[in-house]
Structure 1
């Protein structure tokens, strides 16, 4: 068989596989959006769930999901960046470092239900944080930290060696080289890892069942005291997220319009994840142009 023929066959197979993946993704998103958007309204997005009559919404669950995302990223990003920088630039190349990398890779493949049970035993019971947003954020940090560490390390190692050596030759310190030269170049890769970690926070349910809980107190959105048990800003209150709410309302079936609520909540969850990804990518390009002076 001639080389050109093999090339055409291989190209056709790759294009067909790519098209199949796109069609499956488009079909899945289209099914969720078409089925759920008809049930989405302002009242649906802002009201609390109702189990006695129709008309319930997902307001508290949507707020809980966004609040949990913020808490998790506040904990995950600094630790993940610091650990990735250390592993890439400061850690010596020896058996201990290789063992740490292996542990990180193994930890990234641990099922989320195991992370949830760990959170239940250690965070909820041993440390006494109880079923709360804080417990859920710590559990998701354990879940997402390996991804952030590996992505940061790979992003920094992908920086051209010449740029790093040129910075050091100009007299800049190692830390200044990392923060002013290497991190801006690696920012798109690091931001991709951050987006993946954040997406897992939005869609995670198994780990949160055992840490954040499956119910929320009736929130008072006029009370912004973070120490109040009914304040939406209290990180130590139980919180049912949107993904947990979708699972719960389908499994219990107490609401007469459970199917409609689940369909609408699924559509909102998908749209939120898509908007977050688009916004994060735009921010990444903006930061890259700003740090590297590329217009």
Structure 2
């Protein structure tokens, strides 16, 4: 077989694999949206859930999912960014660096249910946080960190060494070079890592069953005091998320319109994830062009 023909065959196989992956995504998303979108109504989005009764909504679960996502990223992103900068720019190649990377790999392989049980024993019981958004956010941070650290570190390592050398040659300190040159150039990859981790957090259920809880008490969306018990911003209240709610209504078998609620909630979950992904990519592109001067 000639090199040209080998190249065409290889290109065809690779393109076929890409098309196959895209078709799987289209099939999964299309099937969920086709079944669920007819059930997505204004009532579903703005009404609280009603246990053991038909006609419940997902208002509180949707907000809880978004609130938990924001809180988890607020906790995990600074830690992941600092660890990634250390590993990519400061750490020497020695046993300590190998130990850190091994610990990150082990942490990423832990099942979410194990992380949830750990969070339950430590934060819910030992630290007396109870079933709360804060307990869930800290638990999700544990298996969100490895994905964020590896993606950010890979983005930093992908920046050409010449850019770092150019900053040093201009008399900039190592930190100013990282902050002003390396981080802006690595921003698209960093945003990709945030997108991946956000999708994992938003769709997580197992760990949150044991930490954030399976109840969604009625809260006041006009009470902006996070220390108030009925405030929607209170991080110490139990908070059933959208993914947990989907699991709950399908497994308990006591909600009359469980199929309608779970189908509509699944469609909303997919739509929110698509919005987050597209918005984050648009924001990343805008910030990259603004910070680097690229058009």
- TM-score with structure 2 length normalisation? 0.97
The aligned residue for residue 116 of structure 2 is 116
The aligned residue for residue 139 of structure 2 is 139
Structure 1 gaps of 5+ residues are none
The aligned residue for residue 11 of structure 1 is 11
Say yes or no: does 1:166 pair with 2:148.
no
User: How is 1:274-289 mapped onto 2 (pairs within 5 angstroms)?
Assistant: 274-289=274-289
Q: Deviations over 1:38-94 (max 9, x none)?
A: 111111101011234422110000000000011001101111101111111122221
Q: Distance in 2 between matches of 1:205 and 1:263?
A: 16
The aligned residue for residue 69 of structure 1 is 69
Q: Distance in 2 between matches of 1:154 and 1:37?
A: 38
Q: Distance in 2 between matches of 1:150 and 1:143?
A: 12
Distance 1:96 1:16, change over 3 A: same
Structure 2 gaps of 5+ residues are none
For this pair of structures, how many residues does the alignment match? Answer: 295
The aligned residue for residue 251 of structure 1 is 251
Q: Deviations over 1:251-295 (max 9, x none)?
A: 012111000000000000000000000000000001100110112
Quote the offset at 1:105 in angstroms: 1.5
Partner of 2:225, secondary structure, is coil
Question: Cα RMSD between the aligned structures?
Answer: 1.2
Q: Distance in 2 between matches of 1:224 and 1:162?
A: 49
- TM-score with structure 1 length normalisation? 0.97
Quote the offset at 1:140 in angstroms: 0.7
Partner of 1:240, secondary structure, is coil
Quote the offset at 1:148 in angstroms: 1.4
The aligned residue for residue 264 of structure 2 is 264
Q: Which of 110-119 and 221-230 deviates more?
A: 221-230
Quote the offset at 1:15 in angstroms: 2.3
The aligned residue for residue 87 of structure 2 is 87
Q: Distance in 2 between matches of 1:287 and 1:234?
A: 32
Q: Deviations over 1:216-255 (max 9, x none)?
A: 2111222222112211100000000000000000001211
The aligned residue for residue 43 of structure 2 is 43
Q: Deviations over 1:7-66 (max 9, x none)?
A: 333222222222222112111111100101111111110101123442211000000000
Quote the offset at 1:165 in angstroms: 1.0
